[in-house]
A and B are shown apart, each in its own frame.
Chain A
Amino acid sequence: MPQTIAPEFATLIADLGRAIGPKYVLWRVEELMMYEFDGSALDLARPDIVVVPASTAEIAAVVKIAAAAGFPIVPRGGGTGLSGGSVPAAGGVVVATSRMQKVLHVDPVARTAIVQPGLINTELSEYTLPWNLHFAPDPSSQKASTIGGNSAENAGGPHCLKYGITTNHVLAATMVLADGSILHIDTTAPDRPGYDLLGVIVGSEGTLGMVTEITVRLTPNPEGVKTFLAIFDDLDSASDTVSAIIAQGVIPAALEMLEGQGIALVEQSVHAGYPLDAQAVLLIEIDGTDEEIEDQTARIEYICSHFEARELRAAKDEEQRKKLWAGRKGALAACARLAPHYHIQDGVVPRSRLTEVLQLTREVAKRQRVHIVNIFHAGDGNLHPLILFDIREPGIIDRAIAASEEIMRECIRVGGSISGEHGIGIEKRDYMSLLFNEDDLWAMRQMRACFDAVGVMNPCKLIPTGASCGDIKHARGAAKALAAGAWI
């Protein structure tokens, strides 16, 4: 069926088409539907238009045109985010980076790479393998998520326990600001005078501008890697083991936990060799030189036996190691066997409080009558309680949200945070005031306004915006209803 364009969009679509080529401007409903959601699938909002530019200059042109027409601008990478960061909450123009996937430069001596934002995370490490270098941040989504998205969300991953999160690996960024101007912040020359704008750009969830080129730090591949599976008959011993490993000053490359029902679900799906009857398993990876691996192996063996691990199994070869990791990285999908819908939490607690908070998640599950499976980055206290449910059950969504809130409040109560790596986005925006007071949020809003006074860059994300966000939503919503009517 031929679609007509609402008059108010016609000029905009034509202008955008002139700037980047008409075939890279998407506006038909069936084209837009793909861009309604991200990995969290809880927040849905359809963009008015999607553009797929190929360069910094094209992004600048797109931003200038869209902002002048009063449309919000929402950057989007792989769309794997878990907090609604790339969902166009107030409608507007989604700017996809899928035509900007190049590695522009690798400097093996300085150990840096310059990349475009649409480059898939793992593709960079594959590209730099000949130099024995890799990009350290490794979110579980890394086969699909982009470095632009990782930078916007300040992504983590299992190995950030030892190597740090994305902000520790970004050295420079080119960014298109709300007025279409181009800002290039480069910290490769150390301690350059000026406020650390890059420090707030990384993790800003696209709300300060759109990053179009990124210089990242590359990390040498370790001489050796050793991966263990520690199997426990009770949850407390497993979490005490995690606390003890950190307290003993061992910083593994990764320290992950699966507990309860999650273990059997993963095993049935991935066949990683996890025992079906275990109460908790730890995936412990150490890396470094041979001497470091030897030293840490001895300490890990001692701690695991002290806390009565049933078994400590080391992967014999790369294939076994990959299998153990496949279990961890594929855990989310495996849990679909238990219930078709999920809500994933991202709270962080001090590592010494793990045991009590994990106990609480079990109580919450009982109280709210939902399944909760904990599959998480235990080494840095980053919980991912996975709340599983079937949306067809009456009242279940309210109970799932209540469970989620209870856990978040507990994380804050013990001195933690509501997000370790997934970002605030839409999903946790209204919980920010549990963590920060009005003055704190004022300072953040003021800072944001210095980059984008009008608020066109990814509005309604990260900070509770109150009335102003409602206004945008209302205005755009009205326009959308009109447009939708005209299209169908």
Chain B
Amino acid sequence: MYRPSTIQELANQIRDHRGPLLPLGSGSHQVLGNPAVVDSTIIDTTKLSVVSDYIPSDLTITVGAGITLGALQELLKPNNQWLPWDAPQHHSATIGGLLAAGLSGPLRHSAGTPRDWVLGMHTVSGDGRILKSGGKVVKNVAGYDVHKLHIGALGTLGVIAEVSFKIAPLPNADQSLAFVCRDLLHAYTLAYQLRERPFNPAALLIHADTNRVVTLLARWTGVAAMVARQVAHARQQAATYDDYETRAWEPLLNAPFGNSQHTQLRIGIPPQHVAAVIPLLQSLIGEAGALHLLPTVGLVRLLDATAVDVVALRAKLLPYTGYVVVESGNHPNRWGPAPEGFAIMEQLKRSWDPDHKLNPGRSFIARLTS
């Protein structure tokens, strides 16, 4: 196992190593993707956690990829700042790991994904080169945004070593409501009512539990008077609701992310087609354990979908250009059909990791590297 504490050390280790390497943050999402090759050597990135540049008045920060998102938020908080990024296990997971896994949470409804907040990166390629792209300032179009390629790449194109983020002022009000709904369609309709112009919640999440109880969770952040007006409007839209503490989101966001015993599915549907897919999703509730749906984003997670026929589900989603990924559990085809542009992706992998050292076999690009 390697445990570099500087980027240079990381680069040397990768350059000199022969054989497969497994970049690892906190390990909280290791279940994602195909199992690592058995003889992989771990690169523990958690010592790469230096805050190299934080100027609160610029609303930017540059940190080592091994810092946890929780620690990063703690750092920002005294200056009334935050990164609006509520990824699963956000307290314990490292930012490098979360970026590599491409994970985000319900706040993406209003704040977008980390792709929108990352200003630049230092990564290390498969042949041990330290590579910079982007920068540290909030606006920058010099060069290709090659750092974006590492987001969601499961470390197969390079190891993320340092990241610069744009950050945001911490909102002065933050309030949530939970609406118990009749079914998914009811929750979906209500969600869209809550985001009618000029209103816009910070986060919207529909949660269906194993007892088929469907709840819409909505969160508003920002200027106190504005939050109050939206909450009042929301209360008028539904007969039943509960005031919901913001911290009550935590168990949902921090539930263990899949495990090898359970099949966890990720489904993506373009937002314009979500309404049409609601009956299909409704039929999966109960059969597939708990369901999470980001109604305006089109992202669904089925937490225990062992009984679901993935192939049939993929076929049903095809007309809506939706996809299904098996995030955890065993399945012969986790990723589904090769993505559009696969030949370009394969060549990119060959260019930046010529010896196929980085996480071979893990990702959608596996058929090339395994």
Q: How many whole Å from A193's CB to the nearest CB in chain B?
A: 4
| Residues of chain A contacted by B321 (CB below 8 angstroms) | 186, 188-189
Most A CB contacts (10 A, CB to CB) among B125, B131, B138, B192 go to: B138
B138 and A193 within 8 A (CB)? no
Does A221 touch B at the CB level, under 8 Å? Answer: yes
Q: In the bound complex, how far is the Cα of B298 from the Cα of A190, in angstroms?
A: 7
Q: In the bound complex, how far is the Cα of B59 from the Cα of A313, in angstroms?
A: 27
B136 and A194 within 8 A (CB)? no
Please tell me which stretch of A22-30, A86-94, A329-337, A440-448 contacts chain B, meaning at least 4 of its Cβ atoms lie within 8 angstroms of it: A440-448
A249 and B272 within 8 A (CB)? no
B339 and A190 within 8 A (CB)? no
28 A-B residue pairings within 8 Å (CB atoms): A109-B275, A183-B340, A185-B340, A188-B298, A189-B270, A189-B322, A190-B268, A190-B297, A190-B299, A193-B152, A193-B336, A195-B341, A195-B348, A196-B149, A197-B345, A221-B197, A246-B59, A247-B56, A288-B226, A295-B223, A348-B135, A415-B137, A424-B143, A432-B143, A436-B142, A442-B129, A443-B146, A463-B143
Does B235 touch A at the CB level, under 8 Å? Answer: no
B323 and A107 within 8 A (CB)? no
Contact of B197 among A188, A192, A220, A450 (CB under 8 A): A220
Q: In the bound complex, how far is the Cα of B294 from the Cα of A423, in angstroms?
A: 35
Does A222 touch B at the CB level, under 8 Å? Answer: yes
Q: How many residues of A contact B (CB 8 A)?
A: 87
Q: How many whole Å from A138's CB to the nearest CB in chain B?
A: 14
Q: Which A residues contact B (CB, under 8 angstroms)?
A: 107, 109-110, 112, 132, 153-154, 156, 160, 164-165, 167-168, 183-186, 188-197, 199-200, 202-204, 220-223, 243, 246-251, 288-289, 291-292, 294-295, 348-352, 377, 380-382, 415-424, 428, 432, 435-437, 439-444, 446-451, 462-463
CB closest chain-A residue, reference B171: A249
Does B266 touch A at the CB level, under 8 Å? Answer: yes
Contact of A450 among B138, B145, B299, B347 (CB under 8 A): B347
B340 and A184 within 8 A (CB)? yes
Contact of B348 among A251, A428, A447 (CB under 8 A): A447
Per-residue interface assignment for chain B, residues 126 to 168, with 1 indicating a CB less than 8 Å from any chain A CB and 0 otherwise: 0001111101111111111110110111000100000000001
A251 and B137 within 8 A (CB)? no
Which range holds the interface residue count of chain B? 35 or more
Q: How many whole Å from A449's CB to the nearest CB in chain B?
A: 7
Q: In the bound complex, how far is the Cα of B268 from the Cα of A186, in angstroms?
A: 12
Q: In the bound complex, how far is the Cα of B135 from the Cα of A350, in angstroms?
A: 11
Does B260 touch A at the CB level, under 8 Å? Answer: no
| Residues of chain B contacted by A221 (CB below 8 angstroms) | 197
| Residues of chain A contacted by B70 (CB below 8 angstroms) | none
Q: How many whole Å from B183's CB to the nearest CB in chain A?
A: 20
Does B364 touch A at the CB level, under 8 Å? Answer: yes
In the complex, chain B residues 319-347 whose Cβ is within 8 Å of any chain A Cβ: 321-323, 325, 335-336, 339-342, 344-345, 347
A153 and B141 within 8 A (CB)? yes
CB closest chain-B residue, reference A444: B144
A192 and B143 within 8 A (CB)? no
CB closest chain-A residue, reference B338: A194
> A109-B192, A196-B152, A432-B143 in contact; A440/B133 too (CB < 8 A)?
yes
B272 and A350 within 8 A (CB)? no
| Residues of chain A contacted by B102 (CB below 8 angstroms) | 191
Q: How many whole Å from A104's CB to the nearest CB in chain B?
A: 14
Does B81 touch A at the CB level, under 8 Å? Answer: yes
> A189-B298, A381-B137 in contact; A167/B145 too (CB < 8 A)?
yes
Does B237 touch A at the CB level, under 8 Å? Answer: no
Contact of B272 among A110, A352, A432 (CB under 8 A): A110
Q: In the bound complex, how far is the Cα of B141 from the Cα of A285, in angstroms?
A: 24
